Amino acid sequence: MTKPPFRKILVANRGEIALRVFRTCAERGIATVAVYSDADRDALHVAYADEAVAIGGQSAAESYLRSEKIVAAAKATGAEAIHPGYGFLSERAFFVEACADAGVTFIGPPARAMEVMGDKVRAREAMSAAGVPVVPGVNDLMSADDVVAAARSIGLPVMLKASAGGGGKGMRIVEHEADLLRAYEGASREALASFGDGRMLMERAILRARHVEIQLMADNHGGVVFLNERDCSVQRRHQKVIEEAPCPSPQMSPAIRAAMGDVAVRAARAVGYSGAGTVEFLFEEGASGPRFYFLEMNTRLQVEHPVTEATCGRDLVWDQIRVAAGEPLGFTQDDVRLHGHAIECRLYAEDPVRFLPSPGTVRMVRWPVGADIRVDTAVASGSVVSSFYDPMIAKLTVWGADRRSAIRKMREALRSTVLLGISTNIPFHLRVLEDPDFVAGRFSTRFIEEHPALLSQDALAEADSRAIAAAAAVAAAAAVGACEQGAPGPQISAWRRASGWRRD
């Protein structure tokens, strides 16, 4: 075994993404350090790491967002590098600089690339200058007069977005001029509260489009490749719920995929990017063929990266680590292949109708098993889903030779999943996977709002009863222990070989 690029890595995150990074480190002989808040003292990511450092507090603001505590933990434990996961400090340029000042390697892109791509206005300007297609719009709206004038110049409907944020915060679609000012004021307030910046931008709203993103990996030697695309169009409140690779649109062809990939590579080169990143696009289908527009670039690993790993056969975390250590990518665009189809469902502890968080203690867990099933989670029987953090409790990913078989496998995987003690969105996922339009690949980012039957109480109750029946069968068979098999970490071994991630 060759010497690993780092001896010890600290993960500045929690939950399933911390476990995801720890697993790759363990497989490569790299020691790991966890950090944890008071609320996470008994969390699985703490138990899984080689070392764990308490950083105090209950909320993220008191713990996982305190860069000085995390850097201090790295120095105290001798960690040579910090992996930020996603969320929290993963896209904060000041954290990159704090790591550099402390002599600790940040596993991610340079601060300058974050600064440019983290501000939607600067990103739009940089992409326009690089010849990347952007949605027509107006930047930096600061007053009601600006908003009305911009809407009249662009033409309704329009999308209002926070200039400095993401994750669906500070975002509104406006279809009628009478609603403009109320939408602007609400979005600006939300942006100011979430990001400390109330600036807004306005774009033409493309209401019937897909959300398609290109996964990138770049090194510090000029190498940039794209690892095909993901479709993330099934969203609620502008947040992704189901992702898949490749995009099922009939207008997604090898030529279009290559064109989008070339644009994404150009975007990365324009800001001197390195590491894992994702360029997100609006993908508009039309009679004369598709058009796509730059939305934003996420300067981190994405929640939905498992579907890319499943269809490309690469361990993206390992690639991130190697690149951060100064190694070249070691593969070219010609080496990237597309194998089969993968679907990921984000499992949340939430009301499946109102999408409100449902924190509490998980009384019983049963995860599905199978050669083409992957579970990324940090939840086992007895785990507490805290009200202090995002309610996502797991990511369930399946692979199939084609989309039809992937959908079938996902249905069975969801029906085999048992999570008792909390409400989850599993019934909602089952409804989506049985919807004729979803099965046929006919959907856009408005899929949920255009299919209100998905939120039918009766239908969701029927789907939920399947999980309860499965739990009863498990309990009757006294197989609780077997149901928790693999609970301390993501179930990834079925897709891994020594040379990288491949399906066995």
Active site residues: 300
> In the structure encoding, which two tokens stand for residue 369, read together?
């098993």
Residue with tokens 């190697």: 322
What is the separation of C-alpha 452 from the centre of its chain, rounded to a whole number of angstroms? 25
Q: CA 121, CA 239: separation in Å to the nearest integer? A: 21
> In the structure encoding, which two tokens stand for residue 292, read together?
């796509």
> In the structure encoding, which two tokens stand for residue 498, read together?
């020594």
Q: Is 41 exposed, middle or buried (0-12, 13-18, 19+ CB in 10 A)?
A: exposed
Local structure of 134: helix, strand or coil? strand
> In the structure encoding, which two tokens stand for residue 82, read together?
């910090």
What is the separation of C-alpha 266 from the centre of its chain, rounded to a whole number of angstroms? 22
If one counts every other C-beta atom within 10 angstroms of the C-beta of residue 16, the result is: 24
Contact between 184 and 190 (Cβ < 8 Å): no
Local structure of 88: helix, strand or coil? coil
Q: Give residue 371's identity as a one-letter amino acid code.
A: A
- Residues paired with 420 in a beta bridge: 364
**β-strand pairing of 81-83 with 105-106:** parallel
Query: ∠280-16-335 over CA atoms, to 5°?
Result: 50
If one counts every other C-beta atom within 10 angstroms of the C-beta of residue 69, the result is: 20
Q: CA 335, CA 400: separation in Å to the nearest integer? A: 21
What is the separation of C-alpha 340 from the centre of its chain, rounded to a whole number of angstroms? 21
Q: Give residue 383's identity as a one-letter amino acid code.
A: S
Q: Which residues neighbour 196 within 8 Å (Cβ) at sequence distance 6 or greater?
A: 164
Q: Give residue 438's identity as a one-letter amino acid code.
A: F
- Residues paired with 500 in a beta bridge: 497
- Residues paired with 239 in a beta bridge: 236
Contact between 294 and 266 (Cβ < 8 Å): no
215 phi and psi, to 5 degrees? -85, 130
